[in-house]
Structure 1
Amino acid sequence: MKRIIYTVVLLLLCTASFAQVKKRKTPTKKAPVTAPVSSAPQPTTAAPVSTAPASTPATTAKKTKIKTPPKDGFTVRKDVDSAVMVPYADVREEDVYYSKRIWREIDLRDTVNSVLNSEKSKLIEILLDAIGNEELTVYSPKDTVQGKVLEDNDSFKIALSSQEALRNARGLTEGSADATTGKLSDPTLKRFRPDDFQKFRIKEDWILDIKRSVFEPRIIGIAPMKMVEGNWQPVFWVYYDDVREMLSKQRLVNPSNDASVLTYDDFFVRRLFASYVVKETNPANKNIVDILGLTDPKDPRKLYESERIKKSVSDFEQSLWEY
């Protein structure tokens, strides 16, 4: 009996819940409000007359924009980042176990070295421009006492002024005589000809640093050479550490890769040049030609001796290590 009552109650509850229906509210539409129509006549007003001047065609014309010229390819970059210069490692004198000084000559007529004499950038022009702007200190290639030339000197003892360095490089013209007075005019600098400088001489030290266990060369100085009285002679010397920062900002023309960012400093530090030895340290302080007593500068024995010196340095390096 109780079960029947429970079921009846549940059915009533279910029917009551489903019976609730939400009334939907329908929005009432408001009648539009219309303004009362007035029968009085409306006053008429005249349209305002514009006093602004009529625009001329010159002012309405669009301004033409200056177009930036397009970039000529991907290799138009001429400058390089100065931060690419890798500084030398510090070497203490007490860590240098072995040292050998060698003088080399770089011939720009060689295909490998021709990049130093390219039409876009020449090493001699970079040096002379820096000397003319007094940004670089140069040194005399000769020892002089009271106007007398004693011997070749590359120890950076006698500093030259910018005018003296330019005079050594370019030379002076002979003074011309005045037609009326007969006085000679002061000599002037000759026209600069880069093709006169076809060789460069470098002085370097091969050192063995026992602290780092490294056998490496360090370039000490560089000198442009010019033909004087049938012989190639340096016109001035430049301390390489002074000129290295400037060379690291000058891009080198690389014929193998137009996108290369090699600098003149990279060319020397990475040993990308071809050269031959002309002198090594010896008791007599003579070069190879004087030691061998050669009269012909094209004598092949000079190159044989140069290769012998190169091999002696290489053999010393190979003898340091055991495999």
Structure 2
Amino acid sequence: MKKLLFLFIGLFLISGVFTTTDAQGVDGVYTKHLTAKRKPIPFQYIREADVMWSKVLTRRVNLTEKRNLSLYYPTVEMEGRKSLIQLMMWGIKNKSLTPFASDEFLTQFTLNEIDERFGAGVDTTYDIDPETGETIPLITKKPADISEVKELLIKERWIFDKQRSIMEARIIGLCPIRVYYRDDDLDHEEARVKKLFWVFFPEARNIFASEAIYNPKNQSQEMTFDDYFIKRMFEGYIFKESNVYDNRLIQDYATGLDVLLESERIKDEIFSFEHDLWEF
């Protein structure tokens, strides 16, 4: 009888240890596994003959604005969460996501080329050896600073599908932008911007659909990066539209406040086109 009692107590203690260990691993409540298994929802098929109107636009998104902060943070490695640029780089390194040099998606970048555009690499400085008096090189590795990725370009095509009688936007590609200062610009007087690479959005959807984006309103209602972009929850302004002038930027012919006004004009033009198709 005593042997059975000791056996029961031993099993109880062992199960308690495993339960405690598992609880610590899953934050004490439940295991999150649904998002990792998700797949992107396929788009509705569109026939070319049903597209009666289309326009290609590029939007510029400031990731540090309040509505876009879920794309910007975290800026350091964090368990269970990734920012957009962290997810992109993870996809490039581990899931064969292709980085392209332009929004034409023809020329590919290598990882070394991306590191160079990030400003990462090896820095060589020189110092005097106090014993010999000789000049010696000091080599230091400079890592990529993902917190410098503060803007995003989104290339999209707006179409009117006469078969379904709807106007909708399909995202074509994404381009993270690095905003940085020169090392000798100690007062941060002149910000520089550099496009890092383009990713083809349809190719990236499988990766985006399997990673949750932070939901500040309800953390148990997980939303993926794919959901975030498909539902168009980002905030930005129109940066470029397809035109006869070889896709010139709005800032090429407008400055200051006029850039935002031109962006609003293009947005209103799309809205008016759709509105005028209907008879009330």
Normalised TM-score (structure 2): 0.78
Matches of 1:131 and 1:304 in 2, distance apart?
A: 37
Q: How does 1:1-323 map to 2 (within 5 A)?
A: 62=10, 64-65=13-14, 66-69=17-20, 70=23, 72=27, 77=32, 80=35, 82-83=37-38, 85-119=40-74, 120-133=81-94, 135-141=96-102, 154-176=103-125, 190-227=142-179, 230-284=191-245, 285-292=247-254, 294=255, 299-323=256-280
**Shift, 1:253, TM fit:** 0.8
Alpha carbons of structure 1 residues 179 and 128: separation in structure 2 relative to 1, 3 Å: farther
Alpha carbons of structure 1 residues 178 and 59: separation in structure 2 relative to 1, 3 Å: farther
CA contact (8 A) 1:74 1:259 kept: no
CA contact (8 A) 1:136 1:243 kept: yes
Query: What letter matches 1:290 in structure 2?
Result: D
Matches of 2:52 and 2:139 in 1, distance apart?
A: 54
Secondary structure, in 3 states, of the residue corresponding to 1:105?
strand
Supply the RMSD in Å over aligned alpha carbons: 2.9
Query: What letter matches 1:234 in structure 2?
Result: K
**Shift, 1:133, TM fit:** 2.5
CA contact (8 A) 1:79 1:251 kept: no
CA contact (8 A) 1:220 1:241 kept: yes
Matches of 1:238 and 1:248 in 2, distance apart?
A: 15
Instruction: Tell me which protein shows more strand as a share of its residues.
Output: 2
**Shift, 1:83, TM fit:** 3.8
CA contact (8 A) 2:159 2:169 kept: yes
Q: What is the aligned residue count?
A: 249
**Shift, 1:106, TM fit:** 1.2
**Shift, 1:121, TM fit:** 2.3
**Higher RCO, 1 or 2 (CA under 8 Å, sep at least 6)?**
2
Alpha carbons of structure 1 residues 319 and 82: separation in structure 2 relative to 1, 3 Å: farther
Secondary structure, in 3 states, of the residue corresponding to 1:166?
helix
Query: What letter matches 1:288 in structure 2?
Result: I
Q: Deviations over 1:41-100 (max 9, x none)?
A: xxxxxxxxxxxxxx9xx9999464124134646676365154452211111222221110
Instruction: Tell me which protein shows more helix as a share of its residues.
Output: 2
Instruction: Give the percent of matched residue pairs that are identical in Structure 1 and Structure 2.
Output: 29
Larger Rg: 1
CA contact (8 A) 1:75 1:259 kept: no
Secondary structure, in 3 states, of the residue corresponding to 2:53?
strand
Unpaired stretches in structure 1, ≥5 consecutive residues: 1-54, 142-153
Alpha carbons of structure 1 residues 125 and 83: separation in structure 2 relative to 1, 3 Å: closer
CA contact (8 A) 2:99 2:110 kept: yes
Q: Deviations over 1:178-211 (max 9, x none)?
A: 98997979885x3232210011100000011222
Matches of 2:30 and 2:270 in 1, distance apart?
A: 39
